[in-house]
Amino acid sequence: MATQIKFGTDGWRGIIAEDYTFDNVRLCAQAVAEYVKSTGMAGRGMVIGYDTRFQSESFAAAVAEVFAGNGIVAYLSDRTIPTPTTSFAILTHKAAGGIIITASHNPGIWNGFKYRPEYAGAASPEITAKVEAYLEDAQTKGIEIKRVPLEQGLAQGSIVMIDAVTPYLKQVASLVDLQAIKDAGLNVVVDAMFGAGIGYFPTLLAGGKTRIIEINNVRNPLFPGMHNPEPIERNLTALQRAIAEHHADAGLANDGDADRVGFMDENGVFINQLQVYALLLLYLLEVCKRRGPVVKTITTTVMADKLAKLYGLPVYETQVGFKFVGPKMLAVDALFGGEESGGFAFQGHLPERDGIVAGLFLLDMMVKLGKKPSELVTHLYDQVGGHYYDRLDITFPAEQRVKVVSRMEQARPAEVAGIKVIGRDTEGGFKFNMEDGGWLLVRFSGTEPIIRVYTETTHLDKVQDILQAGKRLAGLA
């Protein structure tokens, strides 16, 4: 087989029709089926969900056929659903795990295959390695793909269509004070980014004084008007315009599978992912009066450490990806976990990113503290000081990777943009800790041929200089 299937930070992704084919999706499903059978949990069945991308429902049906062919009941969603909705269905059905057909935030030519074990969070590196071992055997030695045709499976009960949405909405209503948000009379624009989160905010917040204006709320696998369905500033010009047009109090956005959130203030100013991480943590601590360990990735804000210190809480840092965050949250019974990508998870819900719950928590924070989004950021900075962040995504030829890695391995800068470097960490990337408490990180994307350069600093005027210094260290300036 020409394609070498490897799982990145969250499953396998490929370009549709080039390497993301029905044959390869079935191969992934067979590998997962072999792993599930090896755990003794095959009798519990597997949940299958899918997003709004091109032919996602057909790829999901192909996965269901393979599970059915392996004697594993396939609980197949009856509609497009977000990743957290699929994950919650694993718990609802007490299933052995689940598959989500999605490429999350990637451009429209991509699709993907996410695997969730029985705990309903991203598969740990240890579990992923076992699934990949089956894949490697299949690709080198061959493997029989066992299948039951969809209609036959439905008729005999080995494929069961399920409503995963209703139990998920009930769960969300138990986590958030929806009535308070409904009664607040807010004017909120929600950008569904043509993705699987379409309709969730209007449904959850219907029937009160608060008004929800949803945009980009039809299925369109091309994701027009944006580079990719990732809720970061460059993709949210439509949201920014709508906030101004409707004189909105806030703007929210979810990515293609609605496990990430983006946040804009009442002036159409983007509140970056590190600020949102800190705001959500502050919400749990100050508004909800909850306590517990905190989990963050190496790309996430040092504001977490400052808030945790104020409240006497431990912080655990992981490599990038919820395959590290989720298992760590379970291991330490964390209050909160999150990463720089805009994905956040909450104790008492799922060890999984949930952009819908995160968005609702941000609205509840506005209501309970009586503050506009811009005022929430000021309130945060009053406690931890100003922190400023940005990131560069640099596409590069694959053949340059070895040279870039070599340059970074040798890099020992004494200072970056005039700020003294006081430490270096190579776990999950090349990170340089700076005297002001900030940091510079250079790392490769786990899903695309992209090098990411990140920084967080207490010096607003240094952000771009630090990023350019990172590019120079990698030899990409």
Please provide the DSSP assignment of 32-84 as one string.
HHHHHHHHT-GGG-EEEEE-SSTTHHHHHHHHHHHHHHTT--EEEESS---HH
Task: Please give the CATH superfamily to which domain 12-165 belongs.
Answer: Alpha-D-Glucose-1,6-Bisphosphate, subunit A, domain 3 (3.40.120.10)
Residue 445 has a pLDDT of 80
CATH of span 388-474: 3.30.310.50
For the CA atoms of 101, 222, 255, 90, the dihedral, rounded to the nearest 10 degrees, stands at -20
Residue 400 has a pLDDT of 83
Residue 477 has a pLDDT of 74
Domain boundaries, the chain: 12-165, 176-384, 388-474
Among 33, 195, 49, CA closest to 120: 49
Residue 1 has a pLDDT of 46
Residue 447 has a pLDDT of 64
Query: For the chain (length 477 residues), average pLDDT per consecutive 10?
Result: 73 94 96 97 98 98 98 98 98 98 96 97 94 88 91 98 98 98 98 98 98 98 96 97 98 98 98 97 98 96 97 95 94 97 96 98 98 98 96 86 90 95 93 95 81 95 96 88
SS3 469: helix
* C-alpha gyration radius of the chain: 22
Among 40, 34, 101, 72, CA closest to 160: 72
Check if 176-384 and 388-474 are the same fold.
Answer: no
Q: Which CATH number fits domain 176-384: 3.40.30.10, 3.40.50.300, 3.40.50.720, 3.40.120.10?
A: 3.40.120.10
Helix (H) or strand (E) holding 211: strand 211-215
Residue 416 has a pLDDT of 95
Residue 207 has a pLDDT of 96
Distance CA 244, CA 263 (A): 15
Residue 2 has a pLDDT of 55
Beta strands at 250-254 and 261-264: parallel, antiparallel or unpaired? antiparallel
Distance CA 230, CA 254 (A): 7
Among 141, 232, 143, CA closest to 191: 232
Residue 397 has a pLDDT of 83
Residues forming a β-bridge with 430: 442
